[in-house]
Amino acid sequence: MKPKKLIWKLLPTALLYLSITFICIYFVFSYFLMDTFREGVFKELQEKSLYLEEPVSQAVVSENIDRLAFEVEKLKSRGNLWITVLDKNGKVLTDSEEIFDEDSLLDNRPEILKSMEGEEASDYRESIHDQKFYYIHAHPFLAGGIVYGILRVALPESQVLQDMKKIRVRALLIATLVSLTGFFFFWWSALKVTIPLGSILKAARAISKGDLNIKLPMSVLESEEVQGLSKYVSRMGQQLKDNSKILEERESEQRAVLSAMDEGVLSVNPEKKVLQVNLAMRDFMELDHDADLRGKSLLEVFRMPKISEYIDNILDGEKFIKEEFSFDGERFFQIQGGPLFSTDEKLLGAFLVFHDLTEIKILERYRKEFVSNISHELRTPITAIQGYLETLEDGKVDDEETRQKFMKIISKQANRLSHIVEDLLKLSRIETGSLDFNWQELKPLVLSAVDICKERAEKKKISIELDLGRDLAAKLNESLLQQALINLIDNAIKYSPEDSRIVISTRQLDEGISLEVKDQGPGISQEHHDRLFERFYSVDKARSKELGGSGIGLAIVKHISRAHGGREGVISSPGEGSTFFIVL
């Protein structure tokens, strides 16, 4: 049930107190006013007694009862009074209502007894004759201090009931006015408290909903307690705002750090609901960058039982894990993870950090292959040189022709060894050197490379044709790009048959400028295309050695292309020749 507002809870108590106050005021004022009214009635009877004293006392002195009765009757008609005249002993001389007989004694009445002593007396009581209440006043007639008669005047209560009702109405009005005034002051005082409390409640509700810009106006608050409460609520809101700002800054910093990390980061709560997945992790798992993954089940986001197993191990108490594994046999990761704890050592969840080892693994494989290949490539010419030299040194060759043949083989293998070393040095310079790039036209560079290779082409009767686009220029390193083009032309010459042609062309593409070398050689199967630009990779190793290649020429082309921010490739099929290209 919705709780009532404070003012409505205070209202019943206030109404109870106001009701009690109303009743007390009504009865107090009624009593006070009635008492004042009675005094007024007695005073009025006293004044009338004084007014009647002269004619009545003369009749008493003259002892003329008839005259006395006449005067009494005359006076009664003026004021609707009950007038009784008595002698000094309390014996009735005449009575206007004829209730008392003449010679009746009233000396037992309190007011008569006092008057017989020479004092005026008043009383209010019920008459034993007609059971009505009367206001009674007794006035003694004095002569020389001696009582010679008594005038008793009585006024029936019924004569003043209307006035008494007015008095009660007046008391009721006063009580109502006081009660309403009290209720107004209660309501005003309650509002003075509840309105500020309402403002504080509104501010607290806004703060709980995240609106931390609420400020309470201190001017509307008067009591020290409410003002203090408002001050502390405002201070709490400001502190929450400051803390929220600090948390937002820290969260922003954390997001920035996590977003900039090359490692993938995943965190979950104890129920294995996702807390955070950074951009690198999304890239690793091919997840949408903008998808809201927070609160989703771990298996719903990552359908990999192995990841769930790592998380389970951490949540079950394993403090730290560090392992390597592969998702698909092609991508390799090192996973490190551990539990997340609050400052009071409460378990908040677990985290995993994914280090992508794929490139390292590939480089390790390349390194092994390179070491194996370079060892083999260097061993072959060195073994040949050593063998022929030993034969010559042992004097086992007598004729000059055989000796010259051996010397040519040694020279050829030495040249091949020299080419391998020279090409390795070129690769090293490209990988580690600082390169300068300038805008230059491609045509002079192509013509220079063709001039360098022209003599070798002419020996095999191979023609070199040019198809160069007009005014094509790029930002390049001239010596490097010329070396790449020379390597491509040299390969084309080596693998092209005699009396064939090589076409060198440049053209503008959407993605950049393409530099192409097309030959009429044997062509290359599709299965070899992806590895052609690796070091020491050869489609036909025997033929490559026969032609004197180092096995690094296309690898140099690849590194030069990548140094220019471009890409390299080949278009070829068996029996249809090959087109090698660099796109800048």
Strand-pair partners of 133: 126
268: left (phi over 0), alpha (psi -120 to 50) or beta: beta
> 3-state secondary structure string, 82-123?
EEEEEECCCEEEEECCCCCCCCCECCCCHHHHHHHCCCCEEE
Backbone angles phi, psi at 477, to 5 degrees: -100, 110
Residue 222: how many CB atoms within 10 A of its CB?
11
pTM: 0.44
List, in order of start, the domains of the chain with CATH numbers: 6-164 (3.30.450.20), 261-356 (3.30.450.20), 357-429 (1.10.287.130), 435-583 (3.30.565.10)
* Whole-angstrom distance, CA of residue 20 vs CA of residue 480: 108
Taking the CA of residue 405 as centre, how many other CA atoms within 13 Å lie in the half-sphere pointing to its CB? 7
Q: Render the burial of 309-346: b for 16+ CB within 10 Å, e for the rest.
A: ebbeebbeeeeeeeeeeeeeeeebbebebebbeeeeee
Coil, helix or strand at residue 538? coil
* Whole-angstrom distance, CA of residue 140 vs CA of residue 85: 10
Q: Which contacts qualify for 563-572: CB closer than 8 Å, 24 or more apart?
A: 563/430, 563/435, 563/477, 563/480, 564/437, 564/474, 564/475, 564/476, 564/477, 564/480, 564/481, 566/512, 568/533, 569/529, 570/524, 570/529, 570/532, 572/523, 572/524, 572/529
Strand-pair partners of 515: 506, 582
CA distances from 196 to 193, 473, 479 (A): 6, 77, 83
pLDDT for position 377? 60
Cβ atoms of residues 496 and 519 within 8 Å: yes
- The position carrying tokens 């000059």 is 400
The DSSP element (H or E) to which 525 belongs, if any, is none
Cβ atoms of residues 132 and 158 within 8 Å: yes
The DSSP element (H or E) to which 151 belongs, if any, is strand 146-156
The two beta strands, 463-468 and 501-508, are parallel
Strand-pair partners of 82: 154
pLDDT for position 518? 92
Strand-pair partners of 578: 572
DSSP states along 451-508: HHHHHHHHHTT-EEEEEEPTT-EEEE-HHHHHHHHHHHHHHHHHHSPTT-EEEEEEEE
Burial of residue 164 (CB within 10 Å: 0-12, 13-18, 19+) is middle
Taking the CA of residue 539 as centre, how many other CA atoms within 13 Å lie in the half-sphere pointing to its CB? 17
CA distances from 74 to 69, 92, 136 (A): 9, 18, 19
* Whole-angstrom distance, CA of residue 453 vs CA of residue 489: 7
Coil, helix or strand at residue 579? strand
For Cα atoms 23, 26, 30, give the angle at the middle one, nearest 5 degrees. 140
Cβ atoms of residues 164 and 36 within 8 Å: no
Query: pLDDT 10s per residue in the chain (584 long)?
Result: 455 565 666 667 767 777 777 777 667 666 676 677 777 777 877 777 776 677 777 766 666 667 777 777 776 666 677 888 888 888 888 887 777 766 677 778 888 888 888 888 888 888 877 788 888 888 888 877 788 888 888 888 777 766 667 767 777 777 778 777 877 777 777 777 677 667 777 777 776 666 666 666 655 445 666 666 667 777 777 777 777 778 777 777 777 777 778 888 889 998 889 888 888 888 888 888 888 888 888 888 888 888 888 888 888 887 788 888 877 677 888 888 888 888 888 888 898 898 888 878 777 776 666 666 566 566 667 777 777 777 777 776 677 777 787 787 778 777 767 766 776 666 666 666 556 778 888 888 889 888 888 888 888 888 999 988 877 888 888 877 888 888 889 888 888 888 899 999 999 888 888 999 999 888 888 888 888 887 667 666 544 555 555 567 788 788 888 888 888 999 988 888 899 999 98
pLDDT for position 542? 47
* Whole-angstrom distance, CA of residue 579 vs CA of residue 532: 13
Backbone angles phi, psi at 320, to 5 degrees: -150, 140
Q: What is the CA radius of gyration of the chain?
A: 64
Q: Render the burial of 571-584: b for 16+ CB within 10 Å, e for the rest.
A: ebeeeebbbbbbbb
* Whole-angstrom distance, CA of residue 34 vs CA of residue 158: 14
Identify the CA nearest to 477 among candidates 426, 517, 543. Answer: 426
* Whole-angstrom distance, CA of residue 453 vs CA of residue 557: 16
